[in-house]
């Protein structure tokens, strides 16, 4: 396992749509391990593969409930709405308010190719949406009405 460089806003790779994973290999599992190391080292709650320069539909999340690895994720249900502050490891030093669903149900494959379904509210729901947006080349800065600097 290794730390990977986090791609920063301005890199064109963050604006590209990621390709689905067609086969889960040891290379994909190593990527997941590296992404976890990188996310925890940077004190993040989520990290998408494009943020480490890999244009594949993969992200990880740990919003306090343990690490979740999602390959080819698909949001299948949302409910409600909440406006909260968001930040991003690819946009260091900035923050903004973003409206997201209060509840999200998402399905994906795990590192072994098994289908998993997760449900989340509040921060976990927000993290699912934020990371899923990365897979489509969308940053939270695209959907916030105001950005400000954070320390």
> Is 5 a domain residue?
no
Is the C-alpha dihedral spanning 124, 129, 130, 135 positive or negative? positive
CATH code, domain carrying 118 = 3.90.45.10
> Is 7 a domain residue?
no
State pLDDT tens for residues 64-77.
Answer: 999 999 999 999 99
- Whole-angstrom Cα distance, residue 24 to residue 112? 7
State pLDDT tens for residues 45-102.
Answer: 999 999 999 999 999 999 999 999 999 999 999 999 999 999 999 999 999 999 999 9
> Is 4 a domain residue?
no
> Is 130 a domain residue?
yes
What is residue 3's predicted lDDT score, i.e. its pLDDT? 97
Residues with catalytic function? 131
Q: Which residue has the tokens 């480490």?
A: 52
Domain count within the chain: 1
Is the C-alpha dihedral spanning 31, 33, 37, 39 positive or negative? positive
Question: 41: domain range?
Answer: 12-149
Where b means 16+ CB within 10 Å and e means fewer, 12-42 reads eebeeebeebeebeeebeebbebbbebbeee
Asked if 127 and 46 count as a contact pair (C-beta separation under 8 A), the reply is yes
> Is 41 a domain residue?
yes
> Is 50 a domain residue?
yes
């Amino acid at each position: 396992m290794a730390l990977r460089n986090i791609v920063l806003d301005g890199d064109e790779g963050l604006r590209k749509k990621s390709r689905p994973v067609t086969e889960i290999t040891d290379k994909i599992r190593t990527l997941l391990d590296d992404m976890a190391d990188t996310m925890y080292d940077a004190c993040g709650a989520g990290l998408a593969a494009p943020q480490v320069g890999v244009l594949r539909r993969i992200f990880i999340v740990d919003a306090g409930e343990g690490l979740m690895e999602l390959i080819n994720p698909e949001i299948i249900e949302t409910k409600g709405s909440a406006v909260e502050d968001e930040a991003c490891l690819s946009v260091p030093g900035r923050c903004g308010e973003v409206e997201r669903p209060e509840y999200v149900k998402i399905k994906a494959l795990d590192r072994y190719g098994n289908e998993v379904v997760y449900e989340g509210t509040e921060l976990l729901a927000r993290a699912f949406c934020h990371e899923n947006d990365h897979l489509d080349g969308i940053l939270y800065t695209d959907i916030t009405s105001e950005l400000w600097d954070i320390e």
